[in-house]
Amino acid sequence: METQTEPKPQKSFFQKLKEDKTLAFLNKHKLPFALLLALLVVFIFFTIKTKNLTKEHFVKQQKLIEHYDLAIDSLQISNVELAVKAFSWAVRSELLRDNIEQVNQIFVSFVQEPGIVNVKLVNPGTAIVTLSTNKKEEGSPFENVSLLQADEQIVTFTDNHILAITPIMGMNVKLGVLVVEVQKGLIKYNTETVEPQE
């Protein structure tokens, strides 16, 4: 006689899960694993938030630096304008007396001040540099003739310098044009910033 073996009943999916040791361990320790998962989620959330705040801080810092750079530049420009205007009055008084040697001494004294790079007097009719602290420039043509036509003080910029162009007026004629070259950025401050790391 043939004995028939009864087929073993197949275990359900949940029964297999209960027998799995790893899952059994997890089922026994639900609370610690739930707390660990919550801790991981909180850590990720605050890491992302910290990176975003760091980026925002960097952007605000850059805007503040730009704002104060502009403020410092405008202060420096107004200081240059005022100093050159007062300087031009001294030059005017000596030019009216036709005392070129004294004008030269004033130029030499003024160029020794911090930040003053070059001072020159240009003839507005011929656009020739008549007097300069850089003696190589004397007798040479002034490079930007359009600036000599101004009837009031003009401030322009080059890469590293500020040019203050001031007409020296006599009673009825323009005696000359005073061109003072000032070093840009005399005020030094720490602008070191640290970019946020990704």
Task: For residue range 127-168, list pLDDT tens digits in order.
Answer: 899 999 999 989 999 888 888 888 888 888 877 888 889 999
Angstrom distance (rounded) from CA 102 to CA 184? 28
Question: Is the CB of residue 151 less than 8 Å from the CB of residue 98?
Answer: no
Average pLDDT, the chain: 83
The answer to whether residue 187 scores a pLDDT higher than 70 is no
Q: How many Å is the maximal CA-CA distance in the chain?
A: 145
Q: Which residue is listed with tokens 């008549």?
A: 130
Distances in whole angstroms, Cα of residue 58 to Cα of each of 62, 67, 68, 158, 188: 6, 14, 15, 29, 21
3-state SS of 76-99?
A: HHHHHHHHHHHHHHHHHHHHHCCC
Per the model's pLDDT, the better-predicted residue between 5 and 169 turns out to be: 169
| pLDDT tier for residue 5 given thresholds of 50, 70 and 90 | low
Contacts of 47 (CB under 8 A, 6+ apart): none
Domains, the chain, with CATH or none: 53-183 (3.30.450.20)
Q: Which two tokens stand for residue 174?
A: 């323009």
Per-residue pLDDT reduced to its tens digit, 8-32? 667 666 666 556 777 677 778 888 8
Per-residue pLDDT reduced to its tens digit, 72-120? 878 878 888 888 888 889 999 998 898 889 999 999 999 898 888 999 9
Q: What is the mean pLDDT of residues 32-52?
A: 94
The answer to whether residue 190 scores a pLDDT higher than 50 is no
The answer to whether residue 193 scores a pLDDT higher than 60 is no
The residues facing 157 across adjacent strands are 162
The residues facing 186 across adjacent strands are none
The answer to whether residue 122 scores a pLDDT higher than 50 is yes
